[in-house]
Amino acid sequence: MVGSVGNGLADLGAGAVSMNGVGKALHPAEAAAAAETLPMELEPPEALVAAAVEAEAEAKREEAANGRREIVMGRNVHTSCFAVKEPDADDEETGEREATMASVLALYRRSLVERTKHHLGYPYNLDFDYGALSQLQHFSINNLGDPFIESNYGVHSRQFEVGVLDWFARLWELEKDEYWGYITNCGTEGNLHGILVGREVFPDGILYASRESHYSVFKAARMYRMDCVKVDTLMSGEIDCADFQRKLLQNRDKPAIINVNIGTTVKGAVDDLDLVIKTLEENGFKDRFYIHCDGALFGLMIPFVKKAPQVTFKKPIGSVSVSGHKFVGCPMPCGVQITRLEHINALSSNVEYLASRDATIMGSRNGHAPIFLWYTLNRKGYRGFQKEVQKCLRNAHYLKDRLKEAGVGAMLNELSSTVVFERPKDEEFVRRWQLACEGNIAHVVVMPSVNIDKLDYFLNELVEKRATWYQDGISQPPCIARDVGVENCLCGLHK
Amino acid sequence: MVGSVGNGLADLGAGAVSMNGVGKALHPAEAAAAAETLPMELEPPEALVAAAVEAEAEAKREEAANGRREIVMGRNVHTSCFAVKEPDADDEETGEREATMASVLALYRRSLVERTKHHLGYPYNLDFDYGALSQLQHFSINNLGDPFIESNYGVHSRQFEVGVLDWFARLWELEKDEYWGYITNCGTEGNLHGILVGREVFPDGILYASRESHYSVFKAARMYRMDCVKVDTLMSGEIDCADFQRKLLQNRDKPAIINVNIGTTVKGAVDDLDLVIKTLEENGFKDRFYIHCDGALFGLMIPFVKKAPQVTFKKPIGSVSVSGHKFVGCPMPCGVQITRLEHINALSSNVEYLASRDATIMGSRNGHAPIFLWYTLNRKGYRGFQKEVQKCLRNAHYLKDRLKEAGVGAMLNELSSTVVFERPKDEEFVRRWQLACEGNIAHVVVMPSVNIDKLDYFLNELVEKRATWYQDGISQPPCIARDVGVENCLCGLHK
């Protein structure tokens, strides 16, 4: 019966090729026939994990080879998959299917442990313990539609959701009866929502966003058929308000919808919200603009950074979004979206045309996410987050300093825990540490789950490997002056 | 320290008013002061659940009173919420916060059990056991972007996702190397994606959808700035192809993008896909149309219904979406979207302009959902689903027959397990059984988790209550002839 769970143990054991599942039979009869020709002995778990890692590496090499790593669409490459197969007729008696599935899951779990341990490049806080919530996993919890409009479906968690929204509204200084919001599926949904609200407020508005904005902002422009103007950035990654002014003046007749980054994806740069507002008001856009703040990661950190310019609804902003799986930490992606109730009211004036029961992007919504967030917010509170933010900033400085001491060019923005540095030469090393790269630079995002020990482990490995990469004296570390400025580059020319 | 978790036990005990959390202090100092004035004795759990149910009922009455139940937006009504409060300084020593949170969760769990037991109106299969997957809950599993493009983030579940997608592509007869798809957050995301692909294929296309289509279809039209034409429906809820033809001929010059319902939300009506295609081709739209099939619930049931017209990519359709939390059953909403790879390729030809790394709507995606789906598909297989579909259809017939025997007007479409019947007079009863209502009709969706015992329990209660509602001889059951046809109505006039 081994082999009846597609790409289960036996298939995994056969290595990368059979993991592809290409041409794998799905019909039970075919599966049975295939089982006879497959190697029957099971390789030890280590080999299986190694095979999975190798399959992944192969996919990466292939991608690197076609040179379109950054933007690639329209593919259907089955590099590795656990195919679904029809149960055999006697599965219920033998229990073998259950056992095989359990083995696949146990192996998968093992690889997750390994991958979680070597994780530095993405802004996800992997340090959470939601054991107390596992009792809720077997309920189908769904907050359909609007958090403030009860549905007849009783298995929801709106009471947790609204508690979480209140907490964020208070954080960003919007009165309880003046906000509207909901818990989203991710940061992208927040951006999609904020920009849509902006467009509904100013239907002929032009969307402005810096070049280093998250790609979901440009995706929104295309989805919503909005004119979009890309604004240049400073070396730090912040929006260049001189260029912003130039572009505003080229479009004086149209209102402005602006995406302001509270921490860009690559450099963790915080756009100067006050300067953006000043630029708008001084160039004839007073009362003719809508600002959406994309606070994906840093929206929840900046309130706890001393002397940082604050994101607050006391300033003329329209909406703020933040991810829940980033700084808070959550098993699945989620986010929080807060906007002014008056904007949502404006939408609802045209409700018959909208023909929608609610003002969210999604209909059915994950009811578990609000409970995860509620749990962590209650446990940590403002004070807890403040401590964690301080720790992250401290550790980020440590990493940057140690990198520079070791001769590695690096940059850390003042308000950020994202350390940008020269891209490691070896792709294997990049994958191992799951570093996000762009051109010549890579970054580590120092999250609460990243402590000094983990950074030392990484630093030591980097320094050791780097010595071998450049030992021939011919290869040289890449110049990153164009990305992070001459003062932060330590290449042959600039050191 | 009781009261330090906002609206925790003490607050719940104080009943509906304090559950609102209105004016509740968030600062620890204020919370401490408030704790002194709040009633300290804890009411028994039954009272707490009753209070929660009452608060919900109050909200419903309020909504019913303002008469805008169906479409209401722009509200911020804090009917009930578990506020988040700052921890007290000594919480870590006393452990009281943890204990109070645990109590809130235990009570919440109890209410979920109760609500799950009385659930008939929504098409969610609540019958699942994912205990084997609880070992994965503490990983932050994220399938960022495209399922077929590996990300450097290693904690993903693409190998499960692609296995699930393959299964669905095979179900709908699209070759493994000819499809593209991903696991979505819900049925709405599938519709948003399918319609967006349609618009990209035919940028000046007009969107056609029957009046009884899910509201997300009309939401998409507004989001995407597409012209949208609503088509009439037959009594069954199916699209009226005579009206469709009339409307097509009014817009001969523009390509057509059509949303075809494989089971409407309210009546479970299946649009006649073959007739839709015929209407298009015979009226000059050959090669100038894109069909998206919204298979929310029934997309996964219809392949297993004998003699039902099939949804298949062998017909000229562009995409199919289905929900994962409906027929399959899943703790959180999710869905499956399958489209033709050629359409996604067409998008990618303009990739620089799109400036997106992928062709999904969302960026970060829940990596747990694919594992839940993979688990159930593997366990049940095609045969397992077939059995469950047959059971559901049988039980739906049982319900419809029993309702009619009891003198309650009811309708059941041939290919559906959604039983439409006269709206119960008492809103309390509607809420108790979580029935979705529209005008004079309500419906029960017979899912695998709904057995004969549950139906009998419901039927007996309905018959008993109904006798009291209409005992005075003055009130009469509503006429539902306009909704379901004279032949299915059993009101005073039509019985």
Q: Per residue in B156-173, pLDDT tens?
A: 999 999 999 999 999 999
Which of A9, A54, A332 should one mutate to test binding to chain B, selecting the residue with the greatest count of B CBs within 10 A? A332
Name the residue among A86, A134, A196 with its Cβ closest to that of B134: A134
Q: Calculate the dihedral angle through the C-alpha atoms of B66, B67, B70, B73, rounding to the nearest 10 degrees.
A: -30
Per-residue pLDDT, B250: 98
Give the distance from residue B282's alpha carbon to the nearest chain A alpha carbon, in angstroms. Answer: 31
Write down the pTM of the prediction. 0.86
Per-residue pLDDT, B351: 41
Q: Which of B80, B157, B416, B417 is catalytic?
A: B416
In tens, the pLDDT along B169-216 reads 999 999 999 999 999 999 999 999 999 999 999 999 999 999 999 989
Confidence of residue B74 (pLDDT cuts 50, 70, 90): low
Tell me what percent of the residues of chain B surpass a pLDDT of 90.
62
The secondary structure of residue B43, as a DSSP letter, is P
Range of weakest confidence among A85-94, A423-432, A465-474, B378-387: A85-94
B186–A375 C-beta distance less than 8 A: no
In tens, the pLDDT along B220-266 reads 999 999 999 999 999 999 999 999 999 999 999 999 999 999 999 99
Give the distance from residue B404's alpha carbon to the nearest chain A alpha carbon, in angstroms. Answer: 25
**Hey, what CATH topology would domain B136-380 get?**
Aspartate Aminotransferase; domain 2 (3.40.640)
CB atoms within 10 A of CB A1: 18
Per-residue pLDDT, B6: 35
Average pLDDT over residues B23-40: 32
A212 in Cβ contact with A265 (< 8 Å):
yes
Tell me what percent of the residues of chain A surpass a pLDDT of 90.
62
Per-residue pLDDT, B131: 87
pLDDT at A424 over 50: yes
What is the maximum alpha-carbon separation in chain B? 77
Q: Which residue of A lies nearest to B92 if distances are taken between CA atoms? A: A379
Per-residue pLDDT, A396: 97
Average pLDDT over residues A299-312: 91
Give the distance from residue B117's alpha carbon to the nearest chain A alpha carbon, in angstroms. Answer: 10
- Neighbouring-strand partners of residue A180: A339
The dihedral through the CA atoms of A221, A222, A224, A228 has a sign that is: positive
Average pLDDT over residues B23-47: 33
A125-140 CB burial, b ≥16 within 10 A, e <16: bbebebeebeebbbbb
Average pLDDT over residues A39-55: 40
Which of B63, B82, B180 should one mutate to test binding to chain A, selecting the residue with the greatest count of A CBs within 10 A? B82
Beta strands in B62-147 (DSSP E): none
The C-alpha angle A185, A186, A190, rounded to 5 degrees, equals: 100
Name the residue among B83, B105, B167 with its Cβ closest to that of A166: B83
In tens, the pLDDT along B82-129 reads 888 888 877 777 788 888 899 899 999 999 999 988 889 888 888 888
Per-residue pLDDT, A386: 94
A363-396 CB burial, b ≥16 within 10 A, e <16: bbbbbbbbbbbbbbbbbbbbebbbebbebbbebb
Chain B residues touching residue A331 (CB < 8 angstroms): 137-141, 368
The dihedral through the CA atoms of A206, A212, A215, A216 has a sign that is: negative
In tens, the pLDDT along A365-411 reads 999 999 999 999 999 999 999 999 999 999 999 999 999 999 999 99
A86–B383 C-beta distance less than 8 A: yes
DSSP of B185-212: SSHHHHHHHHHHHHHHHSTTPEEEEETT
Range of weakest confidence among A387-391, B76-80, B156-160, B374-378: B76-80
Which of A7, A20, A117, A155 should one mutate to test binding to chain B, selecting the residue with the greatest count of B CBs within 10 A? A155
Give the distance from residue A357's alpha carbon to the nearest chain B alpha carbon, in angstroms. Answer: 5
In tens, the pLDDT along A97-108 reads 888 899 999 999
Higher pLDDT, A82 or B255: B255
The dihedral through the CA atoms of A406, A411, A416, A417 has a sign that is: negative
Name the residue among B5, B6, B188 with its Cβ closest to that of A362: B188
Confidence of residue A348 (pLDDT cuts 50, 70, 90): low
| Nearest one of B33, B31, B41, B36 to B7, comparing CA atoms | B31
Domain residue spans of chain A = 136-380, 382-488
Residue A471 phi, psi dihedral angles, 5° rounding: -70, -25
Cα–Cα distance for residue pair B435/A154, rounded to 1 Å: 10
Range of weakest confidence among A29-38, A293-302, A417-426, A430-439: A29-38
| Nearest one of A407, A430, A412 to A477, comparing CA atoms | A407
A139–B331 C-beta distance less than 8 A: yes
Chain A residues touching residue B179 (CB < 8 angstroms): 76
Name the residue among B70, B74, B85 with its Cβ closest to that of A344: B74
Please tell me the CATH code under which domain B382-488 is placed: 3.90.1150.10
ipTM: 0.85
Per-residue pLDDT, A239: 98
A323–B152 C-beta distance less than 8 A: no
Higher pLDDT, B12 or B145: B145
Q: Which residue of A lies nearest to B428 if distances are taken between CA atoms? A: A152
Any catalytic annotation for residue A319? no
Name the residue among B84, B131, B138 with its Cβ closest to that of A331: B138
In tens, the pLDDT along A102-128 reads 999 999 999 999 998 888 988 888 888
Confidence of residue B10 (pLDDT cuts 50, 70, 90): very low
Chain B residues touching residue A133 (CB < 8 angstroms): 105, 137
- The winner for highest mean pLDDT among A15-19, A240-244, B25-29 is A240-244
pLDDT at A17 over 70: no
